[in-house]
Amino acid sequence: MIPIYDFDQVSPEEIFSRETDRADVSGAVAAIIADVRQNGDSALLRYAREFDHAELTAVEVPREAMEAAALGLDSGLRAVMEEAAANIRDFHRRQRRESFVVSEKDGVILGQKITPIEKVGLYIPGGTAAYPSSVLMNAIPAKLAGCREIVMVSPPTCGGDVNPVILAAAYIAGVDRVFRCGGAQAVAALAYGTETVPRVDKIVGPGNAYVAEAKRQVFGQVAIDMIAGPSEILVVADGKSNPKWVAADLLSQAEHDKMASAVLVTDDMALAQAVQSEIERQLPALPRADIARASIEGNGKIIVTPDLLRALDVANQLAPEHLELCVDQPFDYLARVRNAGSIFLGRNCPEALGDYLAGPNHTLPTSGTARFSSPLSVDDFVKKSQFTYYTAAALEAVQGKIAAFARQEGLEAHARSAEIRFETEGGDER
20-34 pLDDT, tens digit each: 545 689 999 999 999
Mean pLDDT, residues 131-143: 97
Mean pLDDT, residues 8-31: 76
In which region does residue 427 sit, left (phi positive, over 0), alpha (psi from -120 to 50) or beta (all else)?
Answer: left
**Percent of the chain scoring above 90 in pLDDT:** 90
Report pLDDT for 7: 87
Distances (CA, A) of 48 to 40, 176, 215: 13, 22, 19
Report pLDDT for 370: 95
**Dist CA 331 CA 336 (whole Å):** 10
Q: Has 53 been annotated as catalytic?
A: no
The model's confidence at residue 123, banded by pLDDT at 50, 70 and 90, is: very high
Q: Is the pLDDT of residue 194 over 60?
A: yes
Report pLDDT for 369: 94
Please name which of 70, 60, 65 lies closest in space to residue 181, comparing C-alpha atoms: 60
The model's confidence at residue 429, banded by pLDDT at 50, 70 and 90, is: low
Report pLDDT for 408: 98
pLDDT, tens digit (0-9, with 9 covering 90-100), for 278-304: 999 999 999 999 999 999 999 999 999
pLDDT, tens digit (0-9, with 9 covering 90-100), for 143-171: 999 999 999 999 999 999 999 999 999 99
Q: Has 82 been annotated as catalytic?
A: no
The model's confidence at residue 104, banded by pLDDT at 50, 70 and 90, is: very high
**Dist CA 200 CA 206 (whole Å):** 17
β-strands 177-180, 149-154 pairing? parallel
Please name which of 121, 150, 128, 290 lies closest in space to residue 208, comparing C-alpha atoms: 128
Structural domains of the chain sorted by starting position, each given as residue range(s) with its CATH number in brackets: 4-15+229-372 (3.40.50.1980), 40-224 (3.40.50.1980), 392-430 (no CATH)
pLDDT, tens digit (0-9, with 9 covering 90-100), for 363-384: 999 999 999 999 999 999 999 9
Q: Is the pLDDT of residue 427 over 80?
A: no
Model confidence, pTM: 0.93
Q: Which residues contact 26 (CB under 8 A, 6 or more apart)?
A: 213, 217
Write down the catalytic residue from 321, 324, 351, 362: 321
Can you name the residues that pair with 302 across neighbouring β-strands? 4, 264
Report pLDDT for 424: 79
In this structure, are residues 370 and 364 in contact, taking their beta carbons and an 8 Å threshold?
yes
**Dist CA 154 CA 205 (whole Å):** 11
pLDDT, tens digit (0-9, with 9 covering 90-100), for 325-354: 999 999 999 999 999 999 999 999 999 999
In which region does residue 178 sit, left (phi positive, over 0), alpha (psi from -120 to 50) or beta (all else)?
Answer: beta
The model's confidence at residue 11, banded by pLDDT at 50, 70 and 90, is: confident
Sheet arrangement for strand 342-345 = 4-6, 301-304, 261-266, 232-237, 322-326, 342-345
Buried b (16+ CB within 10 A) or exposed e, 229-242: bbbbbbbbbbeebe
The neighbour count for residue 401, using CB atoms within 10 Å, is 10
Write down the catalytic residue from 322, 324, 351, 362: 322
**Dist CA 169 CA 186 (whole Å):** 19
